[in-house]
Amino acid sequence: MKIHLPHWIAWFVCMLTVAVRSVAADDATAFEAAARLLAAGRAEEATRAYEHLVQSGRTSPAIERNWALACEQVGLNAHALLHFRRAAWLAPRDADIRADLKTLRSKLGVPAGTETADDRWIHRLGVDEWGWLAFASQWIWCGCLIAGLLVPSIKTALRGFTVACGTVTLVLVALTVAALLEFRSRPDAIVLKADTVLRQSPIDEARPAFTAPMAAELKIRDSRPGWVMGEDPASGRFGWVPRQQLGFVIP
């Protein structure tokens, strides 16, 4: 039996395209249904709908922002803060998300956070976007250097452009490093329960290190099976807490 490989490839691509479009259509329908629940004031049902939508592993800034609004309406302020933080991570340039996050933090008495600052130039691009720009600029710079070595006659003509590309590359690398350091300085997790006890060791019988209030933001310093070490950025105190008691900005 003769198999026409191109035909099988075309068939596979068509089936894959249909499957992707079907999943996207289902997600859009589920999102619209959850949005209608939220608009109708049925926030508790909307929170469950958004949770079910995200369980498939797909999310977006719109989903996280609407989920946060639904949580806020039913009084789940710590969960609302978590989802606003996730939305801001997914869409760092979205002014509405930053404004919502800043308003909720003010309501909870939580420090504003660097990612809510509208005038921070570093927020004009995400860390990955700064990195891709630096990467592209580096390749252009290397291309100019290689062209000058392979074709000496154009080396002089390219000298100014090569120097400019090198300068831009160094600046973009510096901006990428600055953006990464700023991103890593942000808290990683949100305390979801009131008076959450952080312990001196990752066992239930360990002595308490300190107690964190609901909606407190922590930096994660270490992890063990089922436990993470959280640090309060303001006081520098740290302790171990069961993983399920926290919500993580980057799931």
pLDDT value at position 9? 52
Q: Is it the case that residue 11 has pLDDT exceeding 60? A: no
pLDDT value at position 6? 55
Size of the chain in residues: 251
Which amino acid is residue 20, in one-letter code?
V
The most confident of the ranges 10-19, 53-62, 184-193 is 184-193
Do residues 195 and 180 both lie within one domain? Answer: no
Residue 17 lies in a domain: yes
Do residues 70 and 32 both lie within one domain? Answer: yes
Residues of the chain above pLDDT 70, percent: 84
Residue 102 lies in a domain: yes
Do residues 21 and 77 both lie within one domain? Answer: yes
Do residues 22 and 85 both lie within one domain? Answer: yes
Residue 118 lies in a domain: no
Do residues 136 and 193 both lie within one domain? Answer: no
Cα-only R_g, the chain: 24
Do residues 22 and 99 both lie within one domain? Answer: yes
Do residues 10 and 108 both lie within one domain? Answer: yes
pLDDT value at position 22? 38
* HSE of 227, CA atoms in CB hemisphere, 13 A: 16
Q: What is the mean pLDDT of the chain?
A: 83
Place 111 in a pLDDT band, splitting at 50, 70 and 90.
low
Its domain, for residue 142, covers 123-184
Do residues 24 and 95 both lie within one domain? Answer: yes
Q: Tell which of 113, 140, 168 closes a domain.
A: 113
pLDDT value at position 14? 43
What are the tens digits of pLDDT across the range 28-57?
777 788 888 888 888 889 888 888 888 876
pLDDT value at position 115? 55
Do residues 90 and 158 both lie within one domain? Answer: no
Do residues 18 and 98 both lie within one domain? Answer: yes
Residue 23 lies in a domain: yes
Beta partners for residue 210, in sequence order: 198
3-state secondary structure the chain: CCCCHHHHHHHHHHHHHHHHHHHHHHHHHHHHHHHHHHHCCCHHHHHHHHHHHHCCCCCCHHHHHHHHHHHHHCCCHHHHHHHHHHHHHHCCCCHHHHHHHHHHHHHHCCCCCHHHCCCCHHHHCCHHHHHHHHHHHHHHHHHHHHHHHHCHHHHHHHHHHHHHHHHHHHHHHHHHHHHHHHHHCCCCEEECCCCEEEECCCCCCCCEEEEECCCCEEEEEEEECCEEEEECCCCCCEEEEEHHHEEECCC
CATH number of residue 240's parent domain: 2.30.30.40
pLDDT value at position 7? 45
Residue 227 lies in a domain: yes
Q: Tell which of 91, 113, 135 closes a domain.
A: 113
Residue 41 lies in a domain: yes
pLDDT value at position 8? 46
Q: Is it the case that residue 97 has pLDDT exceeding 50? A: yes
Do residues 105 and 129 both lie within one domain? Answer: no
CATH number of residue 96's parent domain: 1.25.40.10
Place 89 in a pLDDT band, splitting at 50, 70 and 90.
confident
C-alpha 32: how far from its chain's center?
23
Residue with tokens 């160094």: 170
Domains identified in the chain, total number: 3
Please list, residue by residue across 166-191, b when 16 or more beta carbons sit within 10 angstroms of its beta carbon and e when fewer do: bebbeebbebbeebeeeeeebbbbbb
Q: Report how far apart, in Å, the C-alpha atoms of 103 and of each of 76, 107, 195 are.
A: 15, 6, 23
What are the tens digits of pLDDT across the range 153-201?
888 888 889 899 999 999 999 999 988 888 887 888 999 999 999 999 9
Alpha-carbon distance 122 to 182, whole Å? 9
Do residues 214 and 151 both lie within one domain? Answer: no
Residue 225 lies in a domain: yes
Which region among 11-15, 36-40, 87-91, 102-106 has the lowest average model confidence (pLDDT)? 11-15
What are the tens digits of pLDDT across the range 116-138?
554 466 777 878 889 999 999 99
Q: Tell which of 74, 90, 113 closes a domain.
A: 113
Summarize the confidence of residues 72-99 as an average pLDDT: 90
C-alpha 106: how far from its chain's center?
21
